[in-house]
Amino acid sequence: MSVLYLILNIFLYIILVYLFIQVAYLLFYSIAGKIARKETFAEAKTLRKIRIFIPGYKEDAVIINTAKDAVLQDYPKDKYEVVIIADSFSEATLATLKTLPIKVIEVSFEKSTKGKALEKAVAATAHEPVDIVVILDADNHMSKGFLHAVNNAFEKGYQVVQGHRTAKDFKTPFALLDACTEEINNHIFRRGHVAVGLPSALIGSGMAFQWDFFVSLLHNIGDTSGEDKEMEYRIIRQGKKIAFLDGRYVYDEKVAKTDVFSKQRSRWIAMQIEFFEKYFVEGWVQLFRGNVAFFDKVFQTYLLPRVMLVAIVCLWLVLTILFFKEFLYVTIGMFFALVLALLMGIPAKWYNKKLLMAFLQIPSALFSMLKAMLHIGKARKQFIHTPHGES
């Protein structure tokens, strides 16, 4: 056996093991999410005061409708308030917002991030503390009863809650594909994790925090564009639980264009690399201290994006059929395990012709992912805005 052949075999086994671990991880939590019961929350006896922060950067196209929708929640009007954090809005938009029964806080930064905007909003409202703060994106609409559901979870003792963010609509087959990836992530990283006793993952919006705890989490948040992930690491380091309000929806506009998808994924991949570098060592330290949840969160930075993982496993299957037949049966099993893990996360009511058209967008999504990887450096150095309200 030549040295070159030995090196090649070692390389192939490393790839196989790497892919196998990722597929096994997804399958485990997907099955857990499928067989688990939803956590229930009894009706709260106390109506806590809630502040809704809606930060937006150049979100003139959607922010007015979002603000109008937010003030229509079926929660007592004297128990919640809506605060728009306006970064680079037009004067016309600001004028319209100020006619609504909400608060508007104008902010401006050399390098805009949601974390900075939230810090400014906290400072501007600190003289009027509340019990709970809810974070929405500029395009988010809450389902009826969402604030009551949040309040019920806090009655049970949680300090952090993640709502069930789902698609507002499907403007294009590509938007439906993006919605599928969101539901798969909900199923695996929220429903599945809660099922085995781990904290739900945060998702950046539809989140709720106990006010004082939120203020402490934001302290020195820095320039990261992944403020939700940084807060998540801080929460889990402290051994806190994060509830998932399964089926209590926050509706979110999904990406309808490949160029917007590429920009969004550039930012997400850049965040993943950022936290991989920052917490790789601490993840192992926390594991040896018994904090499995923290290690699990760091382990997620090792995972490939779902679209990319599907493409690589398919490519690996083709290569094993043509050249590496000794890995064929393991690869076939891995392929079907991955398909099963992902399909279990897509709601049954979505299985129709439109879903098939969405699956046909996978090559475009993969191309967009590859394009996104070329802009990771840019995404790490400056804020990349993902526009909403565009068809």
pLDDT bin (cut points 50, 70, 90) of residue 310 is confident
Quote the pLDDT of residue 168. 84
Is pLDDT above 80 for 13?
A: yes
Question: Tens of pLDDT along 326-377?
Answer: 888 988 999 999 999 999 999 888 888 888 888 887 777 777 766 666 655 5
- The pLDDT score that the predictor gives to residue 391 is 44
Six-digit token pair at 262?
A: 């590429």
Is the predicted pLDDT of residue 27 greater than 70, yes or no? Answer: yes
Amino acid at 92: A
Average pLDDT, stretch 204-232? 89
Write out the H or E segment, with its range, that includes residue 184.
helix 173-185
pLDDT score of 151: 97
Confidence of residue 263 (pLDDT cuts 50, 70, 90): low
Mean pLDDT of 205-230: 89
> Which stretch, 235-239, 258-262, 272-276, 387-391, has highest mean pLDDT?
235-239
Instruction: For 94-129, write each residue's pLDDT tens digit.
Output: 999 999 999 999 988 877 788 888 999 999 998 898
DSSP 250: E
Average pLDDT in the 209-221 region? 92
Give the integer Cα–Cα distance in Å for 295 and 233: 10
* pLDDT bracket for residue 19 (50, 70, 90): very high
- Higher-scoring residue by pLDDT: 365, 230: 230
Q: How many CB atoms lie within 10 A of CB 71?
A: 14
pLDDT in tens, 120-153: 999 999 889 899 999 999 999 999 999 999 999 9
What's the CA gap between 292 and 314, in Å, rounded? 31
Asked whether the predicted pLDDT for residue 2 surpasses 90, the reply is no
What is the set of domains in the chain, with CATH numbers? Answer: 14-37+268-380 (no CATH), 50-256 (3.90.550.10)
DSSP state of 166: E
Helix (H) or strand (E) holding 324: none
Q: Tell me the C-alpha distance between 246 and 5, whole Å.
A: 51
Looking at residue 58, its pLDDT comes to: 87
**Which one-letter DSSP state was computed for residue 45?**
S
What pLDDT is recorded for position 12? Answer: 84
Q: Which of 102, 192, 208 is nearest to 146 (CA)?
A: 208
pLDDT at 185: 93
Q: What is the per-residue pLDDT across 149-203, written as a single tens digit (0 to 9) for each?
A: 999 999 999 999 999 999 887 878 888 888 888 999 999 999 999 999 999 999 9
What is the band of 386 on the pLDDT scale with cuts at 50, 70, 90?
low
Cβ pair 134, 75 in contact under 8 A: no
Asked if 189 and 229 touch (Cβ cutoff 8 Å), the reply is: no
Tokens representing 23 are 């597929």
CA dist list (Å): 331 to 19, 259, 320, 322: 9, 33, 8, 13
Q: Is the pLDDT of residue 233 over 80?
A: yes
